[in-house]
Structures are given as C-alpha cells and as structure tokens.
Amino acid sequence: MNLLRSILSVLFVLTISSYNHNKPNKPGLEVVIKEDTNQFSQSQIKVANEIIINAEKKVRGLLPNLPKDIKVIIEIVDWDLNAVGGVTGRTETNNPAIVAIQVSNKFKGDISNALDIGLESTIFHEFHHLSRGWAIQDNKFERGISIAMVNEGLAVIFAEEYTNAVFEENHVPKDADADAWVKEILGLSKYADYQKWMFKHPDGRTSIGYRSGTFLVRQAMAKSGKNILELSNLTPNEIIKLAGY
C-alpha cells in the first residue's frame, strides 16, 4: 500500500478475461500483465519482468517469511504518481499472495522512466507487507491507525534501505513536528477513519500515517540499535516502545 493511496481504495476485481497470463517467470513467482486500453510495449514488459524477478530474489534472501508463491499483477494507469517515482502498489491478499502494481503513464519522462525509478522500491515495499501479513483483504493485524503507521513505516524504510530510492512524500515535511504527528496518531481511537489518517486529512495533510510511520521506525532503529530486518520481526507495539512512545 504505497502512495497516492486514496486512489487505491477502489475495488480490486480479478477478471480472468482481462489479463494476459504469462507463464511463471521463475518457480514461485508469476507476473501478469493486465490488458486494458493502455498497453506496455514488449521492451517495457521485458524490463518490468526483469526488475520484478530480481527484486523478488533479493527480498526472498532478506525476508524468510515471504510466501512461497506470489502473483504480481501490473497495469498502466493515468494517475499522477510523480511524488512516488511513477509507480505505486497494494498487497491485496496474503493467501493467495497477490500484489497489484500500477505504473503511471503521466510520469515525467515516460512509462519506461517510471519502471526504472519506481518499480523496484514498490516491489520491496509490497513484499515486505506480504512477509508480515499486512494485506487489504485478509489482514493478519488488528484494527488501528497506529498499527498501520508502524507497518507502513517498516515497508518504507525496508525499501529505502535496500533500493536507495527515497521519496519526500514518504516523510514528514521538514517544517512539521514529526513527534507531534506520531503522538497524534497514538491518541486516536481504534476506529479512527483510515482514509483520513492514511490518505488525505481535511486539514490538507496527506499520508499522515505513512509519514509518521517512517519517522517512528527511524527513531526505533536509532534508539534500539536494531536494523530494519530485526525490527521487522517485532510487533507494532514493541516497535512503538522501542521508538520511545
């Protein structure tokens, strides 16, 4: 569940006839190109496959809890994803493990540029969610914005650490009080509005939960001396405590 998340609240429906089902690119991984009015070129499909295959191999070596079999469905969209490298995604289900990836045809440059800049980090982000069971339809965690804050922060930092792709949209603005944002979320009801706190708040702030989570996880790393892989084995509440909250 990456950025411009308000878009990603749309209903995801797997319609078999609307997909080009490639043969599995490697045992345990299937990349499916979604057919629509927007089409990838053959060279773009080749590049996307290579990036996803290589990213899956790297992540599998880092996160032993990654599901054995994963399906990645990739499509072109006309969304403005400039703030996150032209690519976004969501982890639909844990069982079966399905990740949906959207590549913007409005990204500065072109689709190929978006693949080069944003696809690898998005795969790292979403596969981290799979390793923890953080999915839209069969989520393994309890409800609460604080839980979402931690899980998204972990995925952001994991992707940053291993792909070196850093997007300002994933971080609290420099002129804002990150500590206050975290405390604001920790004080919310378990039933607080997810869209408001994770996507767009009425006061104009966007992705408060994601940005706060990135700050909180960095704090936990700094104060505990643990790296992102070690933190990824802990519960959200354990990570919140390590961060000093």
Q: Which residue has the higher pLDDT, 3 or 212?
A: 212
Structure tokens at 22: 């490639």
CATH code of 7-132, in short, is 3.30.2010.30
1 band by pLDDT with thresholds 50, 70 and 90: low
pLDDT at 109: 74
Task: Report which of 162, 172, 163 is spatially closest to residue 209, judged by C-alpha positions.
Answer: 172
Other CB atoms closer than 10 Å to residue 105's CB: what's the count? Answer: 15
* Residues comprising the chain, all counted: 245
List the alpha helices (DSSP H) in 107-168.
Answer: 111-114, 120-132, 145-163
DSSP 59-82: HHHH-TTS-SSEEEEEEEE----G
- Sequence ranges of the domains in the chain: 7-132, 145-242
Distance between CA atoms of residues 95 and 70, nearest Å: 9
pLDDT at 7: 44
pLDDT for residue 6 is more than 70? no
Q: What pLDDT digit, counting tens, does each position of 158-195 carry? A: 999 999 999 999 999 999 999 999 999 999 999 999 99
Q: What pLDDT digit, counting tens, does each position of 37-87 carry? A: 678 999 999 999 999 999 999 999 999 999 999 999 999 999 999 999 999
